[in-house]
Structure 1
Amino acid sequence: MRQPKALVVRGGWEGHRPVEATELFLPFLERHGYAVRVHDSPDVYADADEMARTDLVLQCVTMSEITAGQVAGLRAAIEAGTGLTGWHGGVADSFRASADYLHLVGGQFATHPGKEPGERRGGPEDNFLPHAVNFTALGREHPVTAGIEDFELVTEQYWVLHDDLNDVLATTTHATRPWHPWHRPVTCPAIWTRLWGAGRIVVTTPGHDLDVLRHPAVRTVIERGMLWATRTASGS
């Protein structure tokens, strides 16, 4: 049996601690027999030979930039069967200026609502709100999320713009609060999968910091997502 090959691409905004965050998951990949390579920029996406040998891309690059050639290489690899996964801003807030990247992943960070203005102190905690992650009927049966109960977090709650190609496994609902301008609750996908050609994509929006990534439900979803997204026989 061929050894699966994982490519970890990390970088971008340091507030999401891309090195420390991805290091949490390298032992899991190694225990499951992956050969792991780490790159600190998306340059590797433009290397067609390297991408053809890659079964899984684990990306943690918040904001930053990507060239047309790099995103074309990533899209082509996924269409041919390479999997893509990641969490939070490392995948849902990457490469904001690239429409082709946004089209690929199917969801883009728009905001994370904040606390009541009088409670804000100027730090990241200003945007930490209690919220629930609720699994859909599909999520209760899907291999990535089956058996995991709805859970609650106090962290950034991502509001994402998305499309109907996503298979939504879990949602989160933004409540109406007096200091926010929207007038009814807004439900957004919190975890979704997406099929792109022969490739599989998994996006998990919780993951702002290491504590969230260590949450048992979040960590389980990410780990299962890596295995599920890995190139399948149909994409080999």
Structure 2
Amino acid sequence: MRQLVLVLCSLCVAAAAAFPVDDRVPVLILTGESDYPYHDWRSTTPFLRGLLEKTGRFDVKAAEEVRGLTSRSLARYQVLVLNYNGPRWGTETERAVEEFVREGKGMVALHGVSYGCFFGMQMEKGRWAATSDPGWVAYPQMIGSTWKPDNIGHAARHVFTARWVHRDHPVSLGLEESFLADDELYHRMDLLPNVDVLARAYSDPKVGGTGREEPVLWTVPFGRGRVVHTTLGHDTASMYQQGFVTAFVRSVEWAATGTVTLPSKLTAAPEVRENAVRVLVVTGGHGYPVSFYTLFEGDENIQWRHACSRAEAFTPKMRDRYDVVLLHDMHEEIGENERSNLREFVEAGGGIVSTHHAIVDYTSWPWWYEEVTGGKFFTQASGSHPKSEYKDDVLLIARAVRSAERHPVLRGVGPLALVDEAYRGMWLSPGITPLMETDNPHNDRPVVYIGPYQKARVVYIQFGHGDSTIRHPGYRRLVRNAIAWTARRLE
């Protein structure tokens, strides 16, 4: 946990000028339990705390043992953030929370608080089920919703667009009409009549949705208090999205004060630094550990932005905004517009760093894998080439190719011994320049190489499957060196 908190302390939210200490809003995050492995409060709570603290607007504390809190212990705070799913808190604490909000303070409820023991439910055979227990009677009134156990569910996690439908509310005022979410889209919830829905998203039947516009963020009055409930925020990857960051931080300020002074664009990415390498990080199509983001944090030479879809990533005139595109996605198909924009970027000299499963990227586009990246993983047999193979949890020992020992990408890296995913039977262009190799029989020999493209610098790094690799100092140096070299900042 200490390591996680240190990492998250490097999060930077681009915000307005710093607020005087005496003007900061006191926030208490109520946490300490979640329905793991579905939700993990140990990672999301420090992440949320980091988002709030870096604005300079909030003074944030977290309570990991909520039971036993009283009206007196809550008195110094202006807003509560519920990041919790677990046992009831007991009559005294629940009454204290009710009074806190009813008397004019605020509360923001996130994602996993939408069901569970507070509603009198219990887990039976992996599903929530109703019981004769009415639960915490005031709780549905506070968050403005209930959810019948038989209706609890969501579409498959995917990237979707959420639309602000109440544009003149202080939380949404001045924001763009919509934002992207990389999340679970809850469906078939029952909202109370007094809620004010601020944002909705279409639940696509193609991914298990309802075919309806489902609410994702709403407000509800409770006594003289203000409550915001959002169904977004499944994990730190979901919370990293700019739309979530902006909605969450502004919701907390509004719930606490009734007004919003924070800017309309907030991000968890580092502050813009002069002369830093501008990196676009592209994910989607394959899972990855949330520690992946730490590869780019804490390096004053990298300014990065995250895109979780091809349409979001590959837009016109990319070269004006980015020096390097780092690919950690896995999509075999790519649309014509996205192809054109990505090709324009590469032909203009923009650098490419492709990591791990991105070797599967855009394999329907021969120019990409034959001339640019120089490699292709065959997910299915094609012609005379058999299906490529992968194997999890393989110890791969990689060493520099003798002729490449002094290459800038390998500077300070040394040999690597990583338990990672092995790939074998890929097509590799004769034009690649191997930098590191392994002699493991479960893997093709090159594991780090330079692509054959001549107009731009391209590096492929096979490693990057799990948390142990991503946190390895040698791997982290390798990725950062590759970014600097493809941006022509390291020679």
- Identify which range, 51-60 or 144-153, moves more after superposition: 144-153
Alignment-derived partner of residue 143 in structure 1 = 408
In angstroms, what is the RMSD of aligned CA positions? 2.6
Gap runs ≥5 in structure 2: 1-273, 379-387
Residues 277 and 484, structure 2, Cα contact 8 Å, conserved in 1: no
Shift in Å, 1:131: 2.8
The aligned runs of 1:71-110 (5 Å cut-off) are: 71-89=339-357, 91-103=358-370, 104-110=372-378
Paired residue secondary structure (1:206): coil
Residues 295 and 470, structure 2, Cα contact 8 Å, conserved in 1: no
Shift in Å, 1:46: 4.3
Cα 1:144–1:73 change in 2 (3 A) is: same
The aligned runs of 1:137-176 (5 Å cut-off) are: 137-159=402-424, 160-175=426-441
Paired residue secondary structure (1:65): coil
Alignment-derived partner of residue 225 in structure 1 = 482
Q: Does 1:206 align with 2:472?
A: no
Gap runs ≥5 in structure 1: 115-126, 177-185
Cα 1:153–1:4 change in 2 (3 A) is: closer
Paired residue secondary structure (2:279): strand
Query: Partners in 1 of 2:294 and 2:479 — Cα distance?
Result: 11
Equivalent in 16, 25, 41 of residue 295 of structure 2: 25
Query: Partners in 2 of 1:3 and 1:146 — Cα distance?
Result: 19
Query: Partners in 2 of 1:211 and 1:135 — Cα distance?
Result: 21
Query: Partners in 1 of 2:314 and 2:476 — Cα distance?
Result: 30
Q: Does 1:50 align with 2:303?
A: no
TM-score, reference length from structure 1: 0.76
Q: What are the Cα deviations for residues 116-167 of structure 1, in whole angstroms up to 9, with x where unaligned?
A: xxxxxxxxxxx32223212101331100113533232222112232112211
Residues 140 and 148, structure 1, Cα contact 8 Å, conserved in 2: no
Q: What are the Cα deviations for residues 89-141 of structure 1, in whole angstroms up to 9, with x where unaligned?
A: 0x212233332322221112344454xxxxxxxxxxxx322232121013311
Paired residue secondary structure (1:156): strand
TM-score, reference length from structure 2: 0.39
Letter in 2 for 1:49: K
Shift in Å, 1:28: 4.3
Q: Looking at secondary structure, tell me which structure has more helix per residue.
A: 1
Alignment-derived partner of residue 32 in structure 2 = none
Equivalent in 216, 224, 235 of residue 473 of structure 2: 216
Query: Partners in 2 of 1:41 and 1:142 — Cα distance?
Result: 32
Query: Partners in 2 of 1:25 and 1:56 — Cα distance?
Result: 15
Paired residue secondary structure (1:208): coil
Residues 317 and 341, structure 2, Cα contact 8 Å, conserved in 1: no
Cα 1:139–1:200 change in 2 (3 A) is: same
Query: Partners in 1 of 2:427 and 2:446 — Cα distance?
Result: 9
Paired residue secondary structure (2:339): helix
Shift in Å, 1:232: 5.9
Letter in 2 for 1:207: G
Cα 1:21–1:86 change in 2 (3 A) is: farther
Q: What are the Cα deviations for residues 162-181 of structure 1, in whole angstroms up to 9, with x where unaligned?
A: 112211101123428xxxxx
Q: Does 1:38 align with 2:288?
A: no
> What percentage of aligned pairs have identical amino acids?
21
